[in-house]
C-alpha cells in the first residue's frame, strides 16, 4: 500500500490528529491482510518515517509492534552517505533481514530514493526492512540544496561541511529512538560517523562499525602507522611494508592521505574517526575469510575486539533487477546493456569504470579511452556525468570516438548496473580504480582485473589483487591524486600502458590462462562464502547470536 500522500507538512495540531487517524485506520486494514509470520511488514517501506515531515513528539506511540516482536532482534544501520558506504550497508541490511531480523536503515530522503525500489522488493519477499528518513541540514552547514551524498559534492572544500551536517543527524535520531519497536538491539554505523558511539552509550546498546576497507589494507596502514617507516626518504623511494606475510613495496606517493601529512583541513575529522574506531563493540568487515585469511587474523589481533567477516555482501543481489538497480537507478537501460553483451563472444569484453566519485579531468580520461580503443578488444566504458564530463563529451564528439569504435565499444554515461554487467559471461576483464567494493564485485564475478588506482587505500588494494591474489595486471599508475585536485596531477595513466595491461589480461597464453583461472577459483570461493553454510553466512549467524547475548544479559 502506497502511503506517500502522508508526506506532508503539519501546520496545526488538527492536521496532526487527522493524519494520526488516517495512519491508524490504514494500519488496521493492513494488519488484517498480513500473514501472521511477518507481523512487522506494515511498519516497513513503503511506510517509512520522514523526520523532515513528522515531528517525533507528535508521532503516536508505536502500538504497531506486536507483543511477539518484543524479543525479536532489531538492528539499526546508519551508513555514511557516500556510494561506497551506503551501497554495501543496504546489501548487509538485506542479508541480516534474510536471517530473520528486523532492520532499520537510517538515511536521508534523497538517499532513500536511490535504493527504495530494491528494498521494497526485498520486503515483498518477506524481509523486514524499514526506512527512517532524517533531514540533512545542508543549507545550515553551507552545502548546496539537495547535496545529501558525497558523490554530489561540487568541491573537495565542502567535505568538512558534509561531515558536520552528518553529525547533526544525532539529535533527530535520538528523538525518535524510543519510537522504534521492538527496541533496537544494536547500532551498526559506518566508521565515519563517530556520533553513533555516544548515541549507543546513551541507550545502552552495542555499537558496531562497518569497515569498508579490506583487512589487507588495514594491516598495511596499521603497520606503517606503528613503524613510521614511510616518513623517511623521498616521495619516490619504494619501501617494504613491515610485518606482512608477503613482501609488499609502496612509495610515499601511493599512500592514503591519512598517512601523508599536508591535509590539515581534515585533521580534526580524522582524529574523531580514529577515536570512535577504538571504542567499537565489534567490527563487521565486507570480506570473506578465504580471500585474505592471513590478514583477517592480523586484523583481529590489531583491533582486539570481535570481528565478523560477512562479505562479499554484493552477492545477496541474486535477481537481475536487484543487480541493475543496486545503489541507484541505472543511467542506461539494463536490457540495452545485456543485449549488447549477448552479441559478444564469451570472455571478450573489457568493462572499464573508475568509481562513483572519480574526478579525473578530460585529458586524463582521454588516455583511458584511447587505450581501450588501441587494445582492439570490445569494451564497455562508464564515464561520470556532471560538469567535468562536458569537456570529455566534447572530445568524444569532435574526435568521433563512438563512431570509430562502433561495433566493439559502448560508452555508458552516469550510473551503470555494475554487478549485473560483471556477471555477464562475455566480460573478460574489469578495468577498475580498486575501490574495495569494486574489487569485491570483480572477485565475486570471477573476472581478472586491470588495476588503475587513484586515491585513498586503492594502491594497497591493487597490491592485494596483483601480487597476493594474482588475478590482476597493473596499468602502472605511480602516484595517488588528491580527490578534488585532479587538475594539478597531469596525466595519471598513458594510453600505451592501458593497452598493454589489457593485452596481458586477455592474453591467450599460459600467463593469461593462469590468471583467469585463479580469478574463477576466487570467484567460486566468494559465492560459496555467502551461501548457506559458507564462512560469511556462519559469521553472520554468529554476529546475531553475539549481539543477542549482549542485549539479554
Does residue 266 surpass a pLDDT of 70? no
376-404 b/e (C-beta count within 10 Å ≥ 16 → b): ebbbbbbbbeeebbeebeeebeeeebeee
Which cell numbers hold the place of 285? 568487515
- What value does the mean pLDDT take over residues 67-96? 88
pLDDT band at 383; cut points 50, 70, 90? very high
pLDDT at 14: 37
- Model confidence over 302-352: pLDDT tens digits? 999 999 999 999 999 987 777 767 766 666 778 888 999 999 999 999 999
- What value does the mean pLDDT take over residues 415-424? 93
Contact status, residue 208 vs residue 281, Cβ threshold 8 Å: yes
> What average pLDDT does the structure give for the chain?
85
- Pairing of β 249-250 and β 239-240: antiparallel
- Model confidence over 268-290: pLDDT tens digits? 656 666 665 667 899 999 999 99
pLDDT band at 36; cut points 50, 70, 90? very low
Helix or strand (DSSP H, E) at 421:
helix 418-422
pLDDT band at 388; cut points 50, 70, 90? low
Higher-scoring residue by pLDDT: 93, 387: 93
Helices vs. strands in the chain: H and E counts, helices first: 20, 16
Which cell numbers hold the place of 83? 556510494
- What value does the mean pLDDT take over residues 48-77? 52
pTM, 2 dp:
0.85
pLDDT at 39: 30
Provide the percentage of residues in the chain whose pLDDT is more than 70: 81
Higher-scoring residue by pLDDT: 211, 486: 211
Helix or strand (DSSP H, E) at 186:
strand 186-190
Q: 121-130, 147-156, 275-284, 331-340: which has the minimum mean pLDDT?
A: 275-284
Rounded to the nearest angstrom, the gap between the alpha carbon of residue 47 and the centroid of all alpha carbons in its chain is 25
Does residue 397 surpass a pLDDT of 60? yes
- What value does the mean pLDDT take over residues 368-384? 96
Does residue 209 surpass a pLDDT of 70? yes
Which cell numbers hold the place of 375? 587494445
- What value does the mean pLDDT take over residues 453-464? 96
Q: In what order do the strands lie in the sheet with 186-190?
A: 49-50, 128-133, 102-107, 74-78, 186-190, 207-211, 283-285, 307-309
Q: Report the top-level CATH class of 329-530.
A: alpha beta
- Model confidence over 437-450: pLDDT tens digits? 999 999 999 999 99
pLDDT at 181: 94
Q: Report the top-level CATH class of 41-55+69-211.
A: alpha beta
Beta strands in 236-392 (DSSP E): 239-240, 249-250, 283-285, 307-309, 349-353, 378-383
H helices present in 235-319, as ranges: 267-277, 293-303
pLDDT at 26: 35
Does residue 18 surpass a pLDDT of 90? no
Which cell numbers hold the place of 290? 578465504
Helix or strand (DSSP H, E) at 466:
none
- What value does the mean pLDDT take over residues 168-183? 96
The secondary structure of the chain in percent helix, strand, coil, rounded to multiples of 5, reads 50, 10, 40
Does residue 433 surpass a pLDDT of 80? yes
Beta strands in 391-485 (DSSP E): 409-413, 427-432, 449-451, 472-474
- What value does the mean pLDDT take over residues 408-433? 95
Does residue 21 surpass a pLDDT of 70? no
pLDDT band at 544; cut points 50, 70, 90? very high
pLDDT at 260: 74
Q: Where are the domains positioned within the chain?
A: 41-55+69-211, 329-530
Amino acid at each position: 500500500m502506497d502511503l506517500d500522500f502522508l508526506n506532508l507538512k503539519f501546520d496545526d495540531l488538527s492536521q496532526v490528529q487527522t493524519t494520526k487517524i488516517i495512519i491508524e485506520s490504514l494500519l488496521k486494514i493492513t494488519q488484517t491482510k498480513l500473514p501472521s509470520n511477518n507481523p512487522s511488514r506494515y511498519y516497513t517501506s513503503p511506510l517509512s518515517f520522514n523526520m523532515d515531515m513528522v515531528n517525533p513528539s507528535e508521532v503516536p506511540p508505536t502500538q504497531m509492534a506486536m507483543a511477539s516482536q518484543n524479543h525479536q532482534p532489531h538492528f539499526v544501520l546508519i551508513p555514511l552517505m557516500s556510494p561506497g558506504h551506503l551501497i554495501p550497508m543496504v546489501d548487509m541490511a538485506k542479508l541480516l533481514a534474510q536471517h530473520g531480523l528486523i532492520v532499520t536503515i537510517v538515511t536521508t530522503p534523497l538517499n532513500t530514493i536511490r535504493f527504495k525500489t530494491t528494498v521494497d522488493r526485498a520486503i515483498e519477499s518477506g524481509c523486514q526492512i524499514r526506512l527512517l528518513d532524517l533531514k540533512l541540514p545542508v543549507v545550515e552547514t553551507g552545502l548546496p540544496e539537495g547535496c545529501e551524498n558525497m558523490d554530489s559534492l561540487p568541491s573537495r572544500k565542502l567535505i568538512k561541511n558534509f561531515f558536520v551536517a552528518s553529525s547533526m543527524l544525532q539529535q533527530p535520531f535520538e528523538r525518535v529512538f524510543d519510537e522504534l519497536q521492538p527496541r533496537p538491539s544494536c547500532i551498526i554505523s559506518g566508521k565515519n560517523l563517530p556520533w553513533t558511539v555516544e548515541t549507543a552509550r546513551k541507550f545502552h546498546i552495542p555499537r558496531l562499525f562497518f569497515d569498508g576497507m579490506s583487512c589487507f589494507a588495514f594491516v598495511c596502514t596499521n603497520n606503517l602507522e606503528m613503524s613510521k617507516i614511510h616518513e623517511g626518504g623521498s616521495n619516490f623511494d619504494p619501501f617494504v611494508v613491515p610485518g606482512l606475510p608477503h613482501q609488499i613495496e609502496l612509495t610515499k606517493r601511493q599512500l592514503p592521505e591519512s598517512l601523508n601529512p599536508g591535509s590539515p583541513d581534515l585533521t580534526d575529522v580524522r582524529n574523531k574517526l580514529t577515536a570512535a574506531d577504538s571504542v567499537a563493540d565489534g567490527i563487521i568487515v565486507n570480506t570473506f575469510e578465504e580471500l585474505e585469511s592471513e590478514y583477517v587474523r592480523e586484523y583481529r589481533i590489531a583491533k582486539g575486539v570481535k570481528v565478523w567477516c560477512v562479505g562479499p555482501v554484493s552477492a545477496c543481489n541474486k535477481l537481475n533487477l536487484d543487480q541493475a538497480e543496486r545503489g541507484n537507478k541505472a543511467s542506461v537501460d539494463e536490457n540495452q546493456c545485456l543485449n549488447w553483451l549477448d552479441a559478444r563472444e564469451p570472455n571478450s569484453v573489457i568493462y572499464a569504470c573508475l568509481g562513483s566519485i572519480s574526478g579525473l579531468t578530460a585529458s586524463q580520461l582521454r588516455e583511458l579511452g584511447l587505450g581501450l580503443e588501441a587494445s582492439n578488444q570490445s569494451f564497455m566504458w562508464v564515464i561520470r556525468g556532471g560538469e567535468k564530463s562536458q569537456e570529455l563529451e566534447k572530445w568524444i564528439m569532435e574526435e568521433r570516438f563512438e563512431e570509430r569504435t562502433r561495433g566493439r565499444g559502448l560508452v555508458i554515461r552516469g550510473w551503470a548496473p555494475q554487478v549485473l554487467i560483471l556477471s555477464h559471461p562475455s566480460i573478460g576483464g574489469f578495468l577498475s580504480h580498486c575501490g574495495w567494493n569494486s574489487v569485491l564485485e570483480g572477485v565475486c564475478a570471477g573476472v581478472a582485473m586491470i588495476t588503475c588506482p587513484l586515491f585513498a587505500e586503492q594502491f594497497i588494494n591493487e597490491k592485494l589483487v596483483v601480487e597476493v591474489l594474482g588475478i590482476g595486471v597493473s596499468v602502472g599508475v605511480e602516484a595517488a591524486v588528491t580527490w578534488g585536485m585532479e587538475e594539478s596531477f597531469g596525466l595519471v595513466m598513458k594510453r600505451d600502458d592501458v593497452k598493454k595491461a589489457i593485452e596481458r589480461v586477455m592474453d591467450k597464453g599460459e600467463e593469461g590462462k593462469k590468471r583467469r583461472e585463479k580469478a574463477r577459483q576466487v570467484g567460486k570461493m566468494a559465492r560459496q562464502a555467502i551461501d548457506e553454510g559458507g564462512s560469511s553466512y556462519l559469521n553472520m549467524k554468529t554476529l546475531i547470536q553475539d549481539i543477542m547475548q549482549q542485549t539479554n544479559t
